[in-house]
């Protein structure tokens, strides 16, 4: 009898504790209501991600104090793993036992070095670069800024999530303890396959376990992730995010994607608020009937929220994020470093007053670094010593035409030094020049902390003058300030040789395409201001202009939403990233068709 009484009491205590736990969780996730099971799995996901992130932070603390040993171990592990592949036998991986031998035996490489191997993998050959066959191929921007494919592996995906995403989410939960749920703005997943059936993806997929955890923290219903059209997915993501007034975090893959999402909101808010008012999706959306029914079932008419949103949208879109989500605290989106415009658009216009946290320095080839300081304005990354093996090419020693310049290792870099990053990974890339130029801003224990500056391939040069994308953008901002009332929405540029006969003017020059707000047109005198600013900023460009060997910049204004359409066009054509300096004739022709002045 006593034993039964004890069991009853314990059962009541457990049940009471569970109900109290659910009440606490419901209070902390007080936006769109969830079922009891949804609340439970939400809590489980928070705890698991927090625990995994905490463990990864501990590992980073230890590894950052033993950088040389960890890096050498990672390199030798990569070589042993692929020593019996065709590539491993060609470069005698089995005989390499130390870093010095590796650097002697294997040259520096660029994306073109791997084209033949990748093509054979795509056609179905196994044991070429990695053991067996890769689960997917990832579209990369390549060393020279042109599309290339690189093998992906499950270990690369798991490392990227655990060492990167989980660690940074755990950091957010500590720095912003009220953040319990987020609105994730997804990219549409369009599946392409190689000739042998290997999936070709634009970014490394999340491991299945990570997808499960993150979906429990997402305001978007899981059914919506099956949408394959970019505009429709953007619409549905926005609709469910706008419905939840209490959101404290927004997440997107990149600042460019989130900036495009806000641009889409600015052009479609009337339809979005109408759907919130009525509680069902607009018939104009191209969605399968079954998916429409699932999403409509989850929606509820909310006239008061719709009215509240209309009032805010009618006041304009400066600072709109904090006005529609008053409790918003942080935005999680990767800032490439060599595309400042998207980040500036969020910080200075749409998301004024909200921290924009670029948590990861991640490329198609793998995770490079993590940002441990969510509240700092500048984005600095601690290099992850256990993710890829890193070498560095000092920029002040690089000479044009030198294919094999000397490199230094992670433990030899100097603070304030500028370097091109070279990596070796477990997916079959060795001494691979990424093209990214970084500056070492300090150290985290022995790990370099870097700031991504620009890509070497992303520079304008028609006579050898080389104006980096970052410098061009800063000069364009300066010129925009001289155009009274103008606000720069987006831009891209190209060297005149890309356009061929389409291009006006005989002398080589730059073609610049702008989307502006606040002005309808620019006079020829105003357009020439950009050329004058470039001459002031770049002495070599000024010299060529004075000699007449470079023609003046041609400035074109494009119609509203032109760049949103360009980004979608580039995404559907298979490119993994949008660059401001266009290298493909088809892209230049696309934006040329949007010119209005």
Cβ 475 vs Cβ 535: under 8 Å: no
The answer to whether residue 541 sits within a structural domain is yes
- State CA 245 to chain mean position distance: 26
Structure confidence at residue 339 (pLDDT): 65
The answer to whether residue 563 sits within a structural domain is yes
The answer to whether residue 538 sits within a structural domain is yes
Whole-angstrom Cα Rg for the chain: 26
The answer to whether residue 407 sits within a structural domain is no
CB atoms within 10 A of CB 305: 18
Q: Which domain holds residue 559?
A: 461-593
Closest CA to 336 of 290, 308, 371: 371
Structure confidence at residue 28 (pLDDT): 47
Structure confidence at residue 146 (pLDDT): 56
Structure confidence at residue 19 (pLDDT): 46
Structure confidence at residue 29 (pLDDT): 47
- The answer to whether the predicted template modeling score (pTM) of the entire model surpasses 0.85 is yes
Reading phi first (left if > 0) and then psi (alpha if -120 to 50, else beta), residue 578 is in beta
The answer to whether residue 293 sits within a structural domain is no
Q: Strand 355-357 to strand 330-334: parallel, antiparallel, or no bridges (unpaired)?
A: parallel
**Residue 454 pairs with which residues in a beta bridge?**
437
Q: Give me the number of domains the chain comprises.
A: 1
The answer to whether residue 513 sits within a structural domain is yes
Cβ 584 vs Cβ 544: under 8 Å: no
DSSP classification of residue 501: G
CB atoms within 10 A of CB 396: 7
Give SS3 for 176.
Answer: coil
Residues in Cβ contact with 299 at an 8 Å cutoff, skipping those fewer than 6 apart? 239, 243, 275, 279, 280, 281
The answer to whether residue 18 sits within a structural domain is no
Is residue 167 classed exposed, middle or buried when 0-12, 13-18 and 19+ CB atoms within 10 A define those classes?
buried
**What b/e sequence results for 95-133 when a residue is b if at least 16 CB atoms lie within 10 Å of its CB, and e otherwise?**
ebeebeebbeebebbbbebbeebbeebbeeeebbbbbee
Report the alpha-carbon distance of residue 62 to residue 65 in Å, rounded: 6
Residue-by-residue pLDDT tens, the chain, 597 positions? 555 555 554 554 444 444 444 444 544 444 455 667 777 888 888 899 989 999 999 999 999 999 999 999 999 999 999 999 999 999 999 999 999 999 999 999 999 999 999 999 999 999 999 999 999 999 887 555 556 889 999 999 999 999 999 999 999 999 999 888 889 998 877 668 898 999 998 888 888 888 888 888 888 888 888 888 888 999 999 999 999 999 999 999 889 899 999 999 999 999 999 999 999 999 999 999 999 999 999 999 999 999 999 999 999 999 999 999 999 999 999 986 656 788 888 999 999 999 999 999 998 899 999 999 999 988 999 999 999 999 999 998 776 666 789 999 999 999 999 999 999 999 999 999 999 999 999 999 999 999 998 888 888 899 888 898 889 999 999 999 999 999 999 999 999 988 765 555 568 999 999 999 999 899 999 999 999 999 999 999 999 999 999 999 999 999 998 998 998 888 776 555 678 899 889 999 999 999 999
* C-alpha torsion angle, residues 111, 116, 120, 125 (rounded to 10): -90
**What b/e sequence results for 489-525 when a residue is b if at least 16 CB atoms lie within 10 Å of its CB, and e otherwise?**
bbbbbbbbebbeeebeeeebbbbbbbbbeeeeebeee
The answer to whether residue 516 sits within a structural domain is yes
Structure confidence at residue 306 (pLDDT): 96
């Amino acid at each position: 009898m006593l034993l039964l009484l004890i069991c009853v009491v314990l059962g009541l205590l457990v049940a009471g504790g569970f109900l109290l736990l659910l009440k606490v969780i419901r209070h902390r996730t007080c936006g769109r209501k969830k079922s009891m099971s949804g609340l439970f799995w939400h809590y489980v996901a928070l705890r698991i991600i927090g625990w995994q992130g905490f463990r990864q932070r501990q590992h980073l603390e230890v590894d950052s104090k033993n950088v040389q040993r960890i890096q050498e171990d990672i390199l030798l592990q990569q070589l042993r793993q692929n020593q019996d592949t065709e590539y491993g036998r060609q470069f005698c991986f089995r005989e390499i036992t130390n870093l010095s031998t590796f650097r002697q035996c294997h040259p520096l490489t660029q994306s073109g070095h791997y084209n033949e191997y990748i093509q054979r993998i795509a056609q179905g050959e196994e044991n070429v670069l990695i053991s067996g066959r890769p689960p997917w191929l990832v579209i990369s921007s390549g060393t020279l800024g042109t599309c290339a494919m690189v093998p992906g592996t499950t270990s690369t995906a798991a490392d990227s999530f655990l060492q990167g995403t989980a660690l940074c989410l755990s950091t957010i939960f500590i720095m912003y303890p009220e953040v319990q749920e987020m609105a994730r703005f997804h990219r549409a997943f369009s599946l392409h396959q190689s000739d042998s059936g290997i999936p070709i993806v634009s970014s490394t997929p999340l491991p299945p376990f990570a997808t499960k955890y993150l979906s429990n923290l997402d305001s978007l219903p899981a059914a919506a992730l099956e949408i394959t059209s970019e505009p429709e997915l953007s619409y549905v993501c926005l609709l469910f995010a706008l419905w939840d007034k209490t959101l404290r975090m927004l997440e997107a893959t990149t600042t460019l994607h989130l900036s495009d999402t806000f641009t889409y909101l600015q052009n479609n808010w009337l339809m979005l608020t109408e759907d919130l008012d009525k509680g069902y999706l607009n018939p104009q959306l191209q969605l399968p009937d079954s998916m429409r029914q699932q999403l409509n079932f989850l929606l509820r008419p909310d006239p008061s929220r719709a009215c509240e949103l209309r009032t805010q949208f009618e006041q304009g879109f400066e600072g709109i994020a904090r006005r529609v989500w008053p409790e918003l605290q942080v935005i999680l989106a990767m800032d490439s470093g060599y595309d400042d415009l998207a980040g500036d658009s969020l910080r200075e216009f749409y998301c004024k007053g909200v921290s924009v946290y670029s948590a990861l320095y991640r490329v198609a080839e793998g995770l490079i670094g993590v940002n441990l300081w969510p509240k700092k304005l500048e984005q600095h990354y601690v290099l992850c010593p256990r993710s890829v093996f890193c070498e560095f090419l000092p920029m002040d020693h690089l000479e044009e035409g030198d294919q094999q310049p000397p490199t230094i290792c992670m433990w030899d870099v100097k603070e304030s030094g500028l370097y091109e990053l070279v990596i070796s990974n477990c997916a079959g890339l060795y001494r691979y020049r990424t093209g990214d130029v970084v500056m070492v801003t300090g150290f985290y224990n022995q790990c370099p902390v870097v700031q991504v500056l620009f890509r070497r391939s992303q520079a304008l040069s028609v006579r050898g003058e080389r104006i980096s994308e970052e410098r061009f953008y800063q000069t364009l901002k300066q010129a925009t300030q001289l155009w009274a009332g103008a606000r720069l929405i987006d831009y891209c540029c190209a060297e005149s040789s890309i356009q061929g006969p389409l291009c006006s003017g005989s002398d080589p020059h730059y073609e610049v395409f702008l989307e502006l707000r606040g002005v309808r047109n620019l006079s020829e005198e105003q357009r020439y201001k950009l050329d004058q600013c470039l001459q002031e900023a770049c002495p070599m460009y000024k010299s060529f202009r004075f000699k007449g060997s470079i023609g003046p910049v041609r400035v074109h204004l494009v119609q509203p939403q032109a760049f949103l359409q360009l980004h979608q066009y580039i995404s559907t054509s298979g490119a993994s990233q949008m660059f401001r300096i266009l290298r493909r004739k088809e892209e230049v022709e696309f934006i040329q068709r949007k010119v209005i002045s």
